[in-house]
Amino acid sequence: MNIIKFVLIGVVSLVALLLIVAMFTKKDYGVIREVVINKPKSEVFEYVKLLQNQENFSVWANKDPEMKKDFRGTDGTVGFVSAWDSKMKDVGKGEQEIKKIIEGERIDYELRFIEPFASTSFAYITFEGVSETQTKVKWGFTGKMNYPMNLLLLTMNMERMIGKDFQDGLNKLKVILEK
């Protein structure tokens, strides 16, 4: 009986310790990548503004050729939704909605993941004229994990998990637009 009591106290203590650690662990995460494209800012913005064009450069849009896709609304305007449904666990099911457009400068998106787990994150793409013929494009992603799930951020490196995919997507966008 003493062994069971000892194990139970150990488990309760470990859970309590993890919950205390979670109280002091960050809840927000973010990733940002950038690329300079040798095209004028207006041309780059007009291409990226159309959410369906992400099909051409986003790594995630091309992970599953069998993925079901659905588009609602008028592309390139606030409220347009791009939805996906994949049997692949690392693609899952969800939708992305254009939430705000600052013409020529920035596009904000809300990403609603449904499967394999429900969460909401935010993404944005900004455009900065470097010269008449060059545009710096930044693609960012932010989110929040509430207590006590934020404890997972201690083991998840978002930079490593999705940073490469963002950079690969931007590099592909550069190739497409510089043809």
| Structure-token match 């990733």, residue found | 31
- Assess if residue 128 is contained within a domain: yes
pLDDT (tens digit per residue) in 29-83:
789 999 999 999 999 999 999 999 999 999 888 888 899 999 999 999 999 999 9
Whether 126 contacts 138, CB under 8 Å: yes
| Structure-token match 């609304």, residue found | 73
Q: Report the CATH number that the domain containing residue 34 is assigned in CATH.
A: 3.30.530.20
- Assess if residue 13 is contained within a domain: no
SS3 164: helix
- Assess if residue 69 is contained within a domain: yes
Give pLDDT, residue 44: 98
What is the residue type of 158? M
102, 97, 148, 153: which is closest to 122 by C-alpha?
A: 97
Domain that holds residue 123: 27-177
pLDDT (tens digit per residue) in 145-165:
777 877 777 777 777 778 899
pTM of the model: 0.81
- Assess if residue 151 is contained within a domain: yes
Whether 71 contacts 80, CB under 8 Å: yes
Q: How is residue 70 written in tokens?
A: 């659905």
- Assess if residue 4 is contained within a domain: no
Number of domains in the chain: 1
* Residues written for the chain: 179
What is the residue type of 83? A
- Assess if residue 15 is contained within a domain: no
- Assess if residue 71 is contained within a domain: yes
Going by the DSSP 8-state scheme, the letter that residue 87 receives in this structure is: S
